[in-house]
Structure formats: C-alpha cells, structure tokens
C-alpha cells in the first residue's frame, strides 16, 4: 500500500536549493517539488531545455522556481549553473546532485564509450557540481548542504551493471571524502541510496518481468515512489540533519 503524500512543514524555508536532472518524472523532479513545498526557492536544471522549461512552468504554482540548463559533463556549464543561481537568488544553500545515467551491458561486451559516458555523467558530473558548490559555499562564508543521489547498487552486485555500480560506489566514496574536506567550512555532504523507485522512464526501459522480480525483493513488496526518496533528501538538506555528514542513507525496504 502506498502511503498518503505528506504535507510540507517549512523544513527548507528561506533556503535556495539547486537540483540537477530535475526535468524528468523521477527523483529529480520529485525532490524539486518537495523542496518548494518545504518553503525553498528552487533552481531546477537539466540538459534538455524544452523539458526543463515545461517542468519549471509546472512547478511555478508551488513557489519560486528558476530554470537553468546544464550538462554536468561540461565544467563551463556547471559553473554557469552555480553563477546563474547566485545571480537570480543572491546565494545558494543546498545542492542536490541527482544527475546520473544507467544502462545494461555485460563487461564482456561493454565498450570504452559506454563505460566512460556512465562514469562521466554519474560520478564525474557529481564531482564537478560538488566542487563548484563547495567553492561557492566557502565564498559565501561557509555553511550549506550537498545531497547526492547514489544507489544500493553501489553495494550490491547486479549483472550488466558494472559501469553504473562502479559510478554509484564512487558517488558514495566521494560523499564520504568530500564531507571531510567540507567540514571545516561547516558544509554537510550526505547521500541517499535508493533501491527501486518507480517512475514512467524506469517502466519504459525495464521489462515487466525484471520489475516484478525487483519488487519481490522489497520488504513492502513494491517499489518506492520518487517522493518517498525525495523526503529523505529533504531531511538531509534541512537543519534537522545538522550533525549528519559523510553518510549514505539507504532508502530501501530490500531484504537480503
């Protein structure tokens, strides 16, 4: 049974939040929506400009939202995202690193290009955005929060997922290490590791048979809703998590 959608409680009131890869129907757009409902001013970003504009228009009814296109494989675009957010809002307080790319290929058949593209978007893109945000937080005098989207696949083996698993394991390690680098500047860096969050794109690229198998592994017998993952990301971004850094929180009901 899917629980009722919870109301906002101003957990992010007065904060400026940047969310990457927020134009789709998955976790990114869900976290942007939740941040608005929790009182934040939100900058949504994505590489697909048309979808990004449509998503920003859709979210405008909930609060103050801005759209800035960004391809996280480009250092110049990442820097333009941070600079644009500061230009529009005066500062940034939270970065949600949601951009990532998956795929299925055996190591035996995987090409260098397939490997490199997943790593460049999912891991190096997270690094680029983290670096740019941390430099901005320091320039502002310190303080701030970064929330990364990892995956339980960074811990658990799955056939055909070597590139994605390596990237997400890297995001976990990046989270832990950058948290120590950022601590002296009073910046917190944490991550979530979802197991299975259902949204239309996942349903489109995954067979019904595999989805049923994955759902059966979950203790609740169902996939998470994207907003259930977003709720945990909002908590990590909020002052309720003020003493939490370098942690990877599993958002999963999956049993062994």
Q: Is 240 a catalytic residue?
A: no
Sign, CA dihedral 12-30-95-36, equals negative
Q: What is the DSSP string of 66-100?
A: EE----TT-HHHHHHHHHHHHHHHS---EEEE---
Cα 178 to chain centroid, rounded: 16
Query: 247 near 233, Cβ under 8 Å?
Result: no
Distance CA 145, CA 33 (A): 18
Contacts of 166 (CB under 8 A, 6+ apart): 119, 123
Could you say which of 5, 164, 240, 243 is catalytic?
Answer: 164
Which residues lie below 8 Å from residue 254, measured CB to CB, with a gap of 6+?
152, 195, 196, 217, 218, 219
Q: What is the C-alpha separation between 232 and 195, in angstroms, rounded?
A: 13
Tell me which residues are annotated as active site: 164
């Amino acid at each position: 049974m899917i629980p009722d959608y919870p109301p906002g409680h101003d957990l992010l009131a007065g904060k400026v939040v940047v969310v990457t890869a927020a134009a789709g129907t998955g976790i990114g757009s869900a976290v942007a929506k939740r941040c608005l409902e929790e009182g934040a001013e939100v900058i949504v970003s994505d590489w697909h400009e048309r979808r990004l504009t449509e998503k920003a228009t859709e979210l405008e009814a909930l609060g103050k939202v801005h759209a800035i296109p960004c391809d996280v494989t480009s250092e110049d675009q990442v820097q333009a995202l941070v600079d644009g957010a500061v230009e529009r809002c005066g500062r940034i307080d939270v970065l949600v690193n949601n951009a990532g790319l998956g795929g299925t290929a055996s190591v035996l058949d995987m090409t260098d290009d397939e490997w490199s593209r997943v790593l460049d978007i999912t891991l190096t893109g997270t690094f680029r955005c983290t670096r740019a945000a941390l430099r901005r937080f320091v320039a502002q005098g310190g303080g701030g929060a970064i929330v990364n989207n990892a995956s339980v696949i960074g811990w658990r083996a799955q056939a055909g997922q070597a590139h994605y698993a390596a990237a997400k394991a890297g995001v976990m390690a990046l989270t832990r290490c950058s948290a120590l680098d950022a601590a002296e500047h009073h910046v917190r860096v944490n991550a979530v590791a979802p197991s299975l969050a259902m949204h239309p794109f996942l349903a489109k690229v995954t067979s019904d048979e595999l989805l049923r198998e994955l759902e059966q592994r979950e203790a609740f017998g169902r996939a998470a809703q994207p907003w259930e993952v977003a709720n945990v990301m909002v908590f990590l971004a909020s002052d309720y998590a003020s003493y939490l850094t370098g942690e990877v929180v599993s958002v999963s009901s999956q049993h062994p």
